[in-house]
């Protein structure tokens, strides 16, 4: 009879994330946000100790940058020492954000920490009750981008009951994330391993049930794209049986919600509807950075939006909600659609507005914004734009111009 095994699978801790795009928030809240990745790490350690796991797998991007602050390294070292005192091993690999620099290895880690220091796949044997119970395989990034398929390097090297692969990478067909260490699910499946602990993709997902091929996601959301619960998986293995339990770790949530405002014909009614919805979110989630999309809205709401009256409502509600300990911060209120204008019909029109909208199709936003990124002060407050960000900015600019040139004129 095989001995049972339990462990935590986590990845993408991104300790010391700067949260640059949120540095305009009130300082008390911004400082909480900056420490949220470390609080999530504390929660991770608490879960591991409470569950009495055998070990923790940390699958890349433990730190947000390759040049970590001393504070971040000390906090991580403290966490490892706490686990050492609890008799819990740590298996650690580095990813594209924190690709391995020798400066980190100058810190003396306790003997429970096992680091994959090479960019070729290596292995460690985990022993329990004087038995070799599991072989754990992995590698670290030694540079920012690893484009090589590493699956061929994962080969069983022992006769332990369990074989576990750690891989910081992405499926070859991935389109909404940088593709590093690309693999096919079938390639991992064919290795005959008992569990694949994946990192790099921040959305938790199970690519295959048996054997489990799993992204744990990151442990703390960091932007509007990383909504919902964030955390780790508690994994129990008993022979051929594998049970996964998700454990939330985040201290601050990012959420995007919709609000039907069909009955709102005055700004006061809108404020009341928003206030009630926000109170529900507060009672359910606690500290939250919130985006709200207004749906089914009357034409007057569009006017409030573009005339920045809704911006005043946001300022009022944020002032009210940030007084509380479990604060809510409204990051944005958006219209779910350009409801009263057929933008695509306008785009095809033989007139100035149509010509202007067509010109947006060839807009290179990076060129337009380049002076901002080169500005010594401005660039400190900017974050890298994704293709999705660029599309959203252009769409919002089009909508504003349509309102200014057409809708406002009608009024």
Instruction: Please write the tens of the pLDDT for every residue from 293-346.
Output: 999 999 899 999 999 999 999 999 999 999 988 899 999 999 987 666 677 877
Ranked by mean pLDDT, which of 163-167, 176-180, 344-348, 401-405 comes out on top?
163-167
pLDDT tens digits, one per residue of 357-392:
787 777 777 676 777 766 666 665 566 666 667 777
Phi, psi at 222, each rounded to 5°: -130, -5
At 350 the pLDDT is 82
Q: Which residue has the higher pLDDT, 107 or 243?
A: 243
> What is the per-residue pLDDT for 379?
62
Do 34 and 95 fall within a single domain? yes
Read off the pLDDT band of 241 (50, 70, 90). very high
Mean pLDDT of 121-146: 95
Residues 113, 91: Cα–Cα separation, whole Å: 6
pLDDT tens digits, 253-284: 999 999 999 999 999 999 999 999 999 999 99
- Residues 230, 363, single domain; the answer is no
Answer whether 243's CB lies under 8 Å from 7's CB. no
Q: Among 5-9, 40-44, 300-304, whose mean pLDDT is lowest?
A: 300-304
Buried/exposed code over 16-49 (b: 16+ C-beta within 10 A; e: otherwise)? bbebeebeebeeebeebbebbbbbbbbbbbebbe
Do residue 180 and residue 327 come from a single domain?
Answer: no
The pLDDT of 14-20, averaged and rounded, is: 92
CATH code where residue 156 lies = 3.60.21.10
Residue 204 backbone phi and psi in degrees, to 5:
-70, 140
Give the model confidence (pLDDT) of 141-176 as tens digits: 998 899 999 999 999 999 999 999 999 999 987 656
Q: What is the pLDDT of residue 336?
A: 86
Over residues 58-66, mean pLDDT:
91
pLDDT at 94: 93
Same domain, 147 and 274: no
What angle, 0 to 180 degrees and rounded to 10, lies between the N-to-C axes of helices 387-402 and 365-374? 100
If asked whether residues 156 and 280 sit together in one domain, one would say no
Closest CA to 251 of 326, 338, 146: 326
Q: Could you say which of 205, 227, 248 is where a domain stops?
A: 248
Last residue of a domain, which of 206, 227, 248? Answer: 248
Are 395 and 290 found together in one domain? yes
As a whole number, the mean pLDDT across the chain is 90
Looking at the structure, tell me whether residues 225 and 260 fall in a common domain: no
Angle at 132 between CA 126 and CA 138, to 5 degrees: 40
The pLDDT tens digits of the residues spanning 201-240 come to 999 999 999 999 999 999 999 999 999 999 999 999 999 9
pLDDT for 408 equals 56
Same domain, 135 and 152: yes
234 and 257, same domain (yes or no): no
Region of residue 140 (phi > 0: left; psi between -120 and 50: alpha; otherwise: beta): beta
Q: Give the pLDDT mean for 85-110.
A: 86
Q: How many CB atoms lie within 10 A of CB 65?
A: 16
Are both 39 and 119 inside the same structural domain?
Answer: yes
Q: Decide which of 366 and 195 is more confident.
A: 195
Across residues 182-189, what is the average pLDDT?
A: 97
Q: Residue 407: pLDDT above 80?
A: no
Examine the pLDDT at 189 and tell me if it is beyond 70. yes
Number of domains the chain contains: 2
pTM for the model stands at 0.87
Tokens for 308? 């920045």
pLDDT at 175: 59
Statement: residue 242 has pLDDT above 90: yes
Look up the domain containing 50 and give its range.
5-248
On whether both 337 and 191 belong to a single domain, the answer is: no
Q: At which of 233, 248, 263 does a domain end? A: 248
Task: Mark whether 223 and 312 lie in a shared domain.
Answer: no
């Amino acid at each position: 009879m095989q001995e049972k095994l339990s462990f935590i699978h986590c990845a993408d801790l991104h300790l010391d994330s700067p949260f640059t795009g949120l540095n305009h928030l009130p300082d008390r809240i911004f400082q909480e946000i900056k420490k949220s990745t470390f609080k999530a790490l504390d929660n991770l350690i608490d879960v591991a100790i409470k569950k009495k796991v055998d070990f923790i797998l940390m699958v890349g991007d433990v730190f947000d940058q390759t040049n970590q602050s001393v504070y971040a390294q000390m906090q991580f070292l403290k966490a490892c020492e706490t686990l050492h005192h609890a008799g819990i091993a740590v298996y650690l690999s580095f990813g594209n954000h924190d690709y391995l620099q020798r400066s980190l290895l100058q810190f003396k880690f306790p003997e429970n920490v096992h680091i994959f220091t090479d960019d070729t796949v290596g292995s460690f044997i985990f022993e329990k009750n004087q038995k070799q119970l599991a072989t754990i395989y992995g590698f670290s990034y030694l540079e920012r981008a690893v484009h090589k398929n590493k699956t061929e390097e994962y080969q069983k090297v022992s006769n332990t009951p369990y074989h576990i692969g750690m891989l910081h990478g992405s499926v070859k067909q991935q389109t909404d994330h940088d593709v590093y260490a690309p693999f096919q699910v079938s390639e991992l499946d064919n290795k005959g391993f008992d569990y694949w602990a994946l990192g790099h993709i921040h959305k938790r997902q199970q690519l295959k049930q048996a054997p489990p091929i799993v992204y744990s996601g990151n442990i703390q959301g960091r932007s509007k794209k990383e909504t919902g619960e964030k955390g780790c998986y508690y994994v129990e293995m008993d022979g051929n049986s594998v049970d996964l339990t998700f454990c939330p770790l985040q201290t601050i949530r990012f959420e995007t919600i919709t609000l039907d405002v069909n009955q709102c014909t005055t700004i006061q009614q809108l404020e009341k509807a928003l206030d009630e919805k926000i109170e529900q979110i507060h009672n359910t989630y606690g500290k939250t950075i919130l985006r709200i999309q207004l749906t089914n809205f009357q034409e007057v709401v569009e006017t409030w939006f573009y005339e920045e009256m809704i911006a005043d409502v946001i300022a009022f509600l944020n002032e009210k909600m940030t007084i509380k300990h479990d604060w809510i911060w409204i990051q944005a209120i958006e219209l779910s659609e350009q409801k009263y204008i057929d933008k695509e019909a306008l785009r095809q029109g033989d007139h100035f507005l149509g010509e202007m909208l067509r010109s947006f199709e060839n807009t290179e936003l990076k060129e337009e914004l380049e002076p901002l990124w080169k500005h010594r002060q401005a660039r400190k407050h900017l974050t890298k734009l994704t293709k999705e960000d660029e599309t959203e900015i252009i769409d919002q600019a089009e909508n504003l111009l349509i309102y200014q040139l057409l809708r406002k004129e009608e009024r």
